[in-house]
Structure formats: C-alpha cells, structure tokens
Structure 1
Amino acid sequence: MSQATSHSSLVFDLLSPASAQDAQPIFHRLRAQEPIHWSPQLQGWVLTRHADISNALRDPRLVAGPMTGQFERLPEAARTQLLPLRDAVNMWMGHTTHEGHLRFQSLLKRYFTPRTVENLRPRIQAITDTLLDAAAAKGGSIDLVQELAIPLPSSVIAEMLGVPLTDEYMLQRWSRDLTAIFSAFDVQQLLRSQQSVMEMMNYMRDVLAQHRRAPGENILEVFVRAQAEGLVSEEEILSNCALLLFAGHETTARLISKGMLLLFQHPEQFAKLREDASLIPQAVEEMLRYGDVVGIITRLTVAPVELGGQAMEPFQMVYLALAAANRDPEVFADPDRFDINRKPSKHVAFGFGSFYCLGAALARLEAQVFFETLLRRFPHVRPTKDTQPTWESRPPLNRELRALPVEL
C-alpha cells in the first residue's frame, strides 16, 4: 500500500483552458500509467479508472462537498466572507454527511418514483412542442442550447417546485453562478456564487410560503410533510430547493446539447437514429457515456482510505473523473467510438450506489422526449452553416457547451 506523495512521474496543467477543451488524452494517459494520480496543482487525488471510481462512489469515508476541501485552503479573510455559502452547500443532499445524504435521498424517493416520473411525460411533451413551435416560428438559425436544451428541463423542474415559469430566466442566471462552485478557484467568483445561492434561498422562501397557503402535489409538499415530522429544517428545505433548481436542469441541458452535437459529428449514427426512432433510449445512454455530460465530481476523505492500493489520508480532496471512467477499455469495448447500438452500458454519468442521481429517470425521459419529437418534426435539423459551437472552459478538465447554432 503506497503512501501519499507530492511527486509523480506525470505532470499536467490540469487547470489550463487547453486541458479543459480536450481532457480525454490526459485521461487516457493517466488511466494507463497512473490511474490514481496525486496532483500538486489540485492538491488532491485524480481517479480515472472505472473500478476505482465505482468503489469511491460507494465508500462512506469519501463524502461529497466541493466547499469542504476548497474552503480550508482559502485565506482566512475569504473563509469568513464565504461562510454563508459553505453552510448552505453543506446542507445540500449529496454534499452533507453520508447519513444526511441518505436522509434526503429517502425523502425524495417518495416523489421520484417510476410512476411519478412517467406521469410527467405529457407535460414534458407539451413543453417540448411549445419550445419547438417558437423556434420554428423564428425561422433561420437558432441556438439549440439557449432556446431548447436549457429551457426544457428548467421549465420542468420549476413546475415541480411550484416556481412560476415567468421567473425561469432569473433561475438560469442563478444556476450559471452555482456551476462555478464546483470548479471555481477564484474568491470573487465564489462570492458571486454565494450571492446567487442566498438570492435563490430567499426566493424559495416566498415560494414555500405560497405553497403552504395553497398546497399542491409537488416536491415542496414532500418537504413540508417531512418538516412536520421533524425530519428536515426550514433552512435545509430552502438550501435543497436551490440545489434542485440548479441540478434539476443542468445535467439534462448538457445531455441534450452535447448529444445533438455528437449526432452532427457522427452522421452515420444520426442516419441510423432518423431511420429507427426505437434506438433513441440506447442512443441517450451512449450520449451519457461518450459525451462527457458530467466530467469530474469531487469527494473528501474523512478517514484513512485505501483505493486501488493507494493510501489516502483524512481530509484529502479526491477528483473522480467520470468522463474517464466512461471510456475505460476494461469496461467498454472500443471506448472511443460513439455507437448508438452499444448495450448494455455500465456508464457512471449518474453516479453509483447510494450517490446515484435521483433525477436520472427524469433526465432520461426529458432527453428521449426531446430527441423523439425533434427528429419526428424536424428530421433534417443541421448545424448552421459557417458557425461553430461556443465552449466555455470549466477547469479542472471540463467544459460547457454554451451555444450550438442550428437550422430546423
């Protein structure tokens, strides 16, 4: 069992925009030569092998929480400024203690049942049709990311939380700031994230009060009943509503936008999908595996841990490269080939074990309805001529698709 060391035969600039633009070559080299890699730059471990990442995701000694590890490295003055953000994030499901995570997961499982999710299909279909109608009415080029991929899941999760759709764009602005919590190493950016989290919680305080005056069968009702049973506090409800408004649409938006780009980049696969819509569910799984929909997530060791023969000390950051695990040749044949006929898929885009994403079925349904409807109504959708996708670097080793011009 080897000990933690700040020395490595492999040296990478993991925070550069260039590495974020194309992380797979770095992942391939790390997975082959040093699958559990100590990064002096990140002051943490980077894991790239499917087996190690799966084991880490189910190990209760590794807890989620991007603020926990980053926070202690900041100057004292910055830590004081960011205390409200740390306290809010540490109440999030998936970012609290292991016991706290299981408590919230148990509560929300009451809502995210297969029947509840499937019952959302007509509403998802209606929102998809409305968005496509508006896009078609514009004529010419549209931005698939901003006009379709983001509004669809954000509208769905907003309705599930009792949020008026008229406030959707404000929620999207807040969500962009929350994304930085998972990658920002800049105090000013974290302060902007903190401001947005506080604004979201105050906003949800009013929405929650309105729900109590006129209850409905939605996620808020699950929380209200749990609070009456003494299972959650008011602040926990507000903090987790902010999380759900953010996390409830970000992954699906990435899945739809990056999935569409993959089809453009692999025309032979796109042709198969046009010819046989029954392939859409497994095509969505391949988009999740191949498309780097979730690049890296963080964990913090809270006790001595051994993973893959490597000893890790308490309170060390661990970076789980899900995008690397999803290209592991030990698990996937020809992993760098995008193949919508691939099945079954053991990808970890939605996590694993007790940290498996509660909204996975909803994200799959939203993406399936979107692609089914788009290809039925606009089978000749194509990239806008003489334009390129717009990317935003999100170090370490991740990037966001911000614009994808298309013609319906």
Structure 2
Amino acid sequence: MAQAAYDLLTAEARNDPYPVLDRLRNDRSVTFSEQLQAWIVTNYADVRSGLADPAISADRISPRLAQFPESERARFVPLYEVLRRWPLMLDHGEHARLRMPITRAMTPAIVAGFRQLIRDTVRSMLREGVERGGMDIIAELALPLPLYVTSRLLGVPDDTVDLLKRCAVDIVDFFGAEPQAYLPRAETAMETVLQTSDLLRPMVRARREQPRHDLLSALAGDPALSDDDIVAVCLMMVFAGFETTSNLIGNEILLLLRHPEQLAAVRRDRELIRGAVKETLRYESPVQRISRLTTADITLRNIRIEKGSLVYFHAGAANRDPAVFPDPDLFDIRRGSDRHLAFGFSVHTCPGSTLSQVEAGIVLDELCRLAPTVRLTGEPLRWRMNLSVRSLESLPVAFV
C-alpha cells in the first residue's frame, strides 16, 4: 500500500485520524514514520506493555531536543530543565520521589472535597448559557472549568489563571507539533514556561513560611523537594489537569449530541454517566499518543527498535483495537470501557485522572438537569491541528 495511506499529517487525517490508524494497526502496527522521525505503535497489547516496560523511559523531552539542529539545542536548555523534572517524564526513584507528594494530595477523599466547588461552578456556567439560549461549550465551559479547579487545587490567585492557560496550551502545542514546527513552538513554550516559573517561585517560598490548605503548601512542606521541583510539579499539574479534562468534556458532549438516544438514556438513568465518561475516553481519547524513549534496544513484532529512539505509543489507536473492544467504531456507553489507555498505564498513569473524570461526570449530570433540550447548531466543527491531543476548537450548542 502506498505510503500516503499512512499519512497522519493530512487535513483529512487530522479531522478523523482513525481510518489511518486502523490501516497502521492492521498492516504495520509497529512502524517508523519518516514524517515524524519516530516509531508509531498502534496495537493495544503492544501499547499497554510498552508503557509498563522498564527498558522504555518516560523521558519525552530529550528525544525531541535531539531532533533540533545541533546549533539550536543549547538555547532551549532552560525549557528542558523545567520539563525534565515533571514526574510524568521521570523514571524509577526520581519519579517516585516527585510523584508521592501528588499522590498524597490527590486521594479520592481530597478529590471528593472538590465536588461541590465543581458542581457550583458548572451550574453557574451552564445556567448563563441556558438563559441566553446557547453557548460555546469549549470556550465557556470545557476550557475555564478545569483551569479554575486546578488553580483552586494548587492555591494560586485568580489573576494567574490566564498565564497558566497560555502556558498549558503552549506546552501541548509543542508536544503535538510535527518536527518542522518544533523550533517555533519550543520558543513560544519556553517563553511562557519561564514566565510561569518566575510567577510560581515566590509563591513556593511564601508557602514554606505560611502554609495553607492547598497542593502548593503540601509540596512546599516536603523538605526533600527543591523550589525548582515544586515549580515543575505545579506546571505539570496545570498541563495535565487542564488540557486532558477540557478535551474530555468537549468530546463527551459532542459524542452524546451525535448519539441522542444515548444522551436520552443518561437523562433517564444517571448511573450511566460513569460509562459515558469511560466510553468517551476510549472512543475519542483526549490524549492520542504517549511519547517514550527507548533506553535499550527492544524488539516489538519482530522489529528491532534501537536504543535512544523516540516512540509514540498511540492510545487513540489502541483504544479502537477490535481485539480488545468489539465493534470499536461504535460509541456505546454501556460497553464497559475500563481497559482504555487514555490516561496512560502503569506507574505513569495521569495523576489527575480521577479529578478529570469527576469533572466530566458532573458536567454531564448538570447538563441533563439544567438543559432539557440541547442540540448542535449545525456550524462546521474544527479539530485542533495537534498530533498529541484530540480537542475541538469550538462546540456551539443551542438550548431550545
């Protein structure tokens, strides 16, 4: 089959990547992409095992910087120094050292304490839209909600939210770019990452002196963590808590509006909300691919991948593998999709996964309560041109 059949960079593939991903999974489930200068793995079993393989590192910044022209690499060391400290990019002891404070601060009991805040915020946002007769779900709900919740979790002031948003968007735009766009995207990301780091550092020092009841204080109270460690963890929480959740909320509402019989079922039985969230995570994975770096030569499907290679374990493809999910292109909220890989797998599973699903579930519950009728306006929908995430630019709906 012609190479064009596997092209993930066309406008058609970016709007609907699944036909290309299906062909890759069926024909060459482990393949090297000259376009992306990386290996792509699309089979569920290989993605799941690869994400747990100790010979494959979570470091996803080093291999990208290695693709920069050698003369440019030193310029981006400040960006590297921040991102390399993210627990999602660390392995073994270093990962455990920085992940543990987050785990302690994100227990189910603590997350449950945010439910009323989330519900009140969602209710206020939706009521405004219902009173007007319509809203853009992305701009007026899916984007501001998780950012507000994450800022409350961290304990940062409201006037920092716009910068936190720009920082998260710039980072995901860098990670989701094709190689020829790395340099300009990295420049933009480095600028906002450093601005946000400079903003957070005095807050860390203040929390060491006067702790509060927030994640920033919990981190600052750990003597094993440096100021730079804490700043990096906060940036990662903003990135993970904002981007994944906003995409999940937008994709969830789009899918249910496109499948009105399933939305009607949720309205009748709220116990189906959990299944609707899980099936959205499987069917339209908010994070499509998960980057890894091989630290030794490995073999997948009798194909040798050399040490030091960048590998994209494609959750979006794995979550539609018919060997695991029968009729994978069918959206079915009763399916039982707990085996999805949308949040990763093993020790590097997204630390905000529980909070993200709580937010998406409350949004759906409140939508059913406050909006007896809701429909798409018919305006063309545009997906963001990003290879790493699956997110809509806008989602206009009418409440009529």
TM-score, structure 1 as length reference: 0.92
2:391 alignment partner AA: E
Report what 2:392 is aligned to: 401
Residue segments in structure 1 that go unaligned for 5+ positions in a row: 1-7
TM-aligned CA deviation for residue 26 of structure 1: 1.0
Structure-1 separation of matches of 2:86 and 2:104: 18
Structure-2 separation of matches of 1:366 and 1:392: 22
Of 345, 370, 376 in structure 2, the residue corresponding to residue 377 of structure 1 is 370
Report what 2:213 is aligned to: 217
Structure-2 separation of matches of 1:170 and 1:141: 28
Task: Answer yes or no: is the 8 Å Cα contact 1:157–1:245 preserved in 2.
Answer: yes
Matches within 5 A, 1:174-193: 174-184=167-177, 185=179, 186=181, 187-193=183-189
Range 102-111 or range 187-196, more displaced: 102-111
Task: Answer yes or no: is the 8 Å Cα contact 1:17–1:395 preserved in 2.
Answer: no
Matches within 5 A, 1:7-406: 10=3, 12-137=6-131, 139-184=132-177, 185=179, 186=181, 187-226=183-222, 228=223, 230=224, 232-384=225-377, 386-395=378-387, 399-406=390-397
TM-aligned CA deviation for residue 272 of structure 1: 1.3
1:267 alignment partner AA: P
Structure-1 separation of matches of 2:237 and 2:174: 15
Task: Answer yes or no: is the 8 Å Cα contact 2:88–2:95 preserved in 1.
Answer: yes
Task: Answer yes or no: is the 8 Å Cα contact 1:66–1:181 preserved in 2.
Answer: no
Residue segments in structure 2 that go unaligned for 5+ positions in a row: none
Residues 322-365 of structure 1, C-alpha deviation per residue, up to 9 Å, x if partnerless? 00110011101111100011125310111111111221111111
TM-aligned CA deviation for residue 307 of structure 1: 2.7
Structure-2 separation of matches of 1:80 and 1:203: 24
Percent same amino acid among aligned pairs? 34
Report what 1:3 is aligned to: none
1:162 alignment partner AA: G
TM-aligned CA deviation for residue 295 of structure 1: 0.7
Task: Answer yes or no: is the 8 Å Cα contact 1:52–1:307 preserved in 2.
Answer: yes
Structure-2 separation of matches of 1:219 and 1:306: 41
Structure-2 separation of matches of 1:126 and 1:224: 29
TM-aligned CA deviation for residue 105 of structure 1: 1.8
- Give the match's secondary structure for 1:318: strand
- Give the match's secondary structure for 2:347: helix
TM-aligned CA deviation for residue 10 of structure 1: 4.8
Structure-1 separation of matches of 2:108 and 2:137: 29
1:153 alignment partner AA: P
Structure-2 separation of matches of 1:214 and 1:136: 42
Alignment size in residue pairs: 395
Structure-1 separation of matches of 2:393 and 2:166: 13
TM-aligned CA deviation for residue 63 of structure 1: 1.4
Task: Answer yes or no: is the 8 Å Cα contact 2:42–2:317 preserved in 1.
Answer: yes
1:194 alignment partner AA: M
* Cα RMSD for the two superposed structures: 1.8
TM-aligned CA deviation for residue 169 of structure 1: 2.6
- Give the match's secondary structure for 1:315: coil
2:237 alignment partner AA: L
- Give the match's secondary structure for 1:37: strand
1:215 alignment partner AA: P
